[in-house]
Amino acid sequence: MDIPQYLFLDFEFTMPETKTEPNGFCPEIIEVGLVAVVAEQIVNQFSAYVKPLRFPQLTDRCKSFLNITQEQIDSGISFYELVTLLRQYDRERPTTVVTWGSMDMKVLRENCQSAQVAFPFTGEHRDLALEYKRFFGNKNQTALRKAVQEYGNEGIGNAHCALDDAFTAYTIFRLIENDKKYLVKTKPPTLGERIDFTQLRKKFAL
C-alpha cells in the first residue's frame, strides 16, 4: 500500500481595484506554491504563476499588494495545466491537502466549475487555521505569520509568496502535531502493573 502524502498548498488570487467587488468579479488563482511531504520528509516542491481565465489583466491594487507584475502572470502556466499538475499529485498516492484557511479550496473549486474541469483532489482536506483555532481555544482565526510567531518562530521567506507560505504552513503543522503528541494521555497502568503480586504472595506465604 502506498504511503500517504501531505500536500501543503497555498494560492494567491486576483483582487478587484476596490474592496467593493464589481458585478461578475470572482477571485482567480494567479500563483501556486506546494510542498509534498511523505513519511515526514519533503519529497517535492513546486511554484508557478498562473494565468487567470476570466480577468486576465491584474488590477493595480492586486499587483501592489502581492508585489507581482503583469508580465510574470502572462508568462505563467494555464489554469488547466495547474489542475492537471494537482491531479497528478492526487493520483500518485493517498493525499491529504493542508491549507491555512478554507479560501484556497473554495476558490480552486469555484475556478474549476467556471473552467468546466473536474476538481483535482479526491482525498481529505485539512484546514490548519481552523485546527489551530480549536487547539488553542481562540475566538478568532489567526493569520498564518502571526500563528508561527506565537510559537516563537518566523515564517519562511515573504508573506503572500505562495511557496513561502506553503513552507510556513508545513512548519506550523509540525509544531502543532508535536504539541498534540505531548497532550495524548498515557494509558493508566493496570492493577497488576502497579503491584508486584509475586512479592505479595511471598509475604503472605510466611
The CATH class, in words, for 5-205 is: alpha beta
Helix (H) or strand (E) holding 99: strand 95-99
| pLDDT tens column, 153-203 | 888 899 999 999 999 999 999 998 888 777 665 455 554 444 454 554 555
Ramachandran quadrant class, 189 (left: phi over 0; alpha: psi -120 to 50; beta: rest): beta
User: 162-183 vs 128-136: helix axis angle to the nearest 10?
Assistant: 40
Residues linked to residue 77 through DSSP beta bridges, in sequence order: 50
pLDDT of residue 38: 96
Q: Where are the domains of the chain?
A: 5-205
Instruction: Say what the pTM is.
Output: 0.85
How much is the mean pLDDT over the chain? 88
Helix, strand or coil, per DSSP, at residue 88? helix
* pLDDT score at 25: 86
Q: Kindly report the length of the chain.
A: 206
Nearest in space to 5 (alpha carbons), one of 37, 34, 33, 35 = 37
pLDDT: is 156 or 12 the higher one?
12
Residues known to be catalytic: 12, 160
Mean pLDDT of 67-81: 97
